[in-house]
Structure 1
Amino acid sequence: MTDTGIASRLHQVMARIRAAAERAGRPPAQVALIAVSKKQPAEAIRAAYAAGQRAFGESYLREALDKIEQLRDLDIEWHFIGRVQSNKTRQIAANFAWVHGVSDPAHAHRLSEQRPAGAPPLNVCLQINLSGEDSKGGVEPSAASELLRTCNALPGLRVRGFMTLPAPADDEAAQRAPFAALRHLRDRLATPGHPLPCLSMGMSDDLEAAILEGATHVRIGTAVFGPRPYN
């Protein structure tokens, strides 16, 4: 994988984001790209950083910590994406700016308590399971209000909004349906004191549908980095 290849793919993804935002009548600046760099080497992250990318998403803590250490000279915004485990909350709270995927009140309490003193609150998006698939994390929509209430009361967390990982779909209408459902849920639960501005949804194959339904963060891996060099 060459640096030029990563830069070119990154620019192509940014062009897709701009086109989708314009189609939705939204400013492209409202949509942040998280380059999902799990299973990618630190050199690939450096290449994307050199091309202008600043936010990177990791899902495997040990691998992420190694890369965070290798890349400390860069002002990267690190996002933890995926399932949170109790024995990993301390290191997640200490090393990441965002967590996409909080769904357990116990994990939320640990992340808040273990956020280092002097650090800003940890930005979190609560994960909502809209498909009902057991393999997907997240709470059911009916449980979102209670989880939100719990997390809003924790001083070490700042709930920014919701995230989801829907089942794959082939056509745009089917792709848009769960993203619209997440937006409607957010609109119903947002308050002036907690506006929940963020919707973390959309990946390489469905980012356009997500942006059309209000995504503020799209999580893109393959379309930026190409195939993973290792599993």
Structure 2
Amino acid sequence: MSLYENLMKVKKKIDQSTAKSGRDPDSVVLIAVTKEADMDSIRQILEFGIKNLAENYAQKLVRKSEQFTNAIWHFIGRIQTNKLKYIVPRCEYIHSVWREEELKEINKIAERFQKIQKILIEVNVSGEPTKAGVDPIKLEKLLKAASSLSAVQIVGLMTMAPYVENPQEVRWIFSKLRQLRDIYRKDFPSLEHLSMGMSNDFEVALEEGATMIRIGRAIFKGE
């Protein structure tokens, strides 16, 4: 299938999944993950009306964001604090923050660029030792630390579910992240977004309230 057909297939699934939970499909931010995409494919995706792009690596982000300045860039990869100087000036959103030292470094760089950096806190809902993310028990402490910083704004939570053949098995992870967002939103009203769901499980994530889905393979490879 062509890139356009892949995209239409994803959009149809978004429509169906949001309809199941009585939500407006336009309330979902579709983020195209460009990690394995070539420049021509990225150009096409932008021409098809996708505005939000995401990268996992700082070096690739620098190269691609310079090429596609009209996109809204998200960083979704593991954070190395020494690479934040490349990420902060280029990204509207950073999804994968889960340590206080990362928050402080982002704040420092954002102040230098006179911007408010939008951040999503990564939460390790599944409790897998190999996964990044803050323990749900320590989330409140991190949110309080962020609220004392002048150049960052926590706009949501993010998680990654383990890869499974049947996405229903990870539904509880998405449900738990939504519950956490709803609990802490009372004290932190800017906590709006739920960044959860990728090519293999985004339909279930949408049914559980995802507002941002990160899709790479399903768009660029049709998988």
Q: What is the TM-score with the length of structure 2 in the denominator? A: 0.94
Contact map agreement 1:204 1:219 (CA 8 A) in 2: yes
Aligned to 1:53: 50
* 1:217 alignment counterpart: 212
- The residue number in structure 2 matching 1:115 is 110
**What residue number does 1:124 align with?**
119
State the 1:171 CA deviation.
Answer: 3.0
Q: By how many angstroms is 1:123 displaced?
A: 1.0
Q: Which residue of 2 aligns with 1:35?
A: 32
Corresponding residue number in structure 1 for 2:170? 175
8 A Cα contact 1:93 1:112, kept in partner: no
State the Cα RMSD in Å.
1.7
Match runs of 1:17-36 below 5 Å: 17-36=14-33
Greater Cα offset, 89-98 or 186-195: 186-195
1:202–1:211 contact (8 Å) kept in structure 2 = yes
Retained in 2: the 8 A contact 1:42–1:71?
no
SS in 1 for 2:132: coil
Distance 2:203 2:47 in 1: 25
Query: Aligned partners of 1:131 and 1:192: how far apart in 2?
Result: 24
Cα contact 2:55–2:75 (8 A) shared by 1: yes
**Offset, 1:175:** 2.4
> What is the CA distance between 1:118 and its match in structure 2?
5.9
**Offset of residue 134 of structure 1:** 2.3
CA distance in 2, matches of 1:154, 1:9: 41
Q: Is 1:84 matched with 2:88?
A: no
Aligned residues: 223
**TM-score of the superposition, structure 1-length normalised?**
0.91
Q: 3-state DSSP class of the match of 1:67?
A: helix
Correspondence for 2:97 among 75, 99, 102:
102
What's 1:207 paired with? 202
Per-residue deviation, residues 64-118 of structure 1 (Å, max 9, x unmatched): 111111223xx10000002111111111111111001100110111111101556
Assess if the C-alpha contact under 8 Å between 2:153 and 2:190 holds in 1.
Answer: no
Q: What 5-or-longer segments of structure 2 have no aligned partner?
A: none
- State the alpha-carbon separation in 2 of the partners of residues 51 and 182 from structure 1: 31
Cα deviation, 1:155-205, whole Å, max 9, x if unaligned, reads 111101100001123334322110001111111111265241100000111
Matched, 1:148 2:138: no
Q: Distance in 2 between matches of 1:86 and 1:183?
A: 28
**C-alpha separation in 2, matches of 1:44 and 1:71:** 12
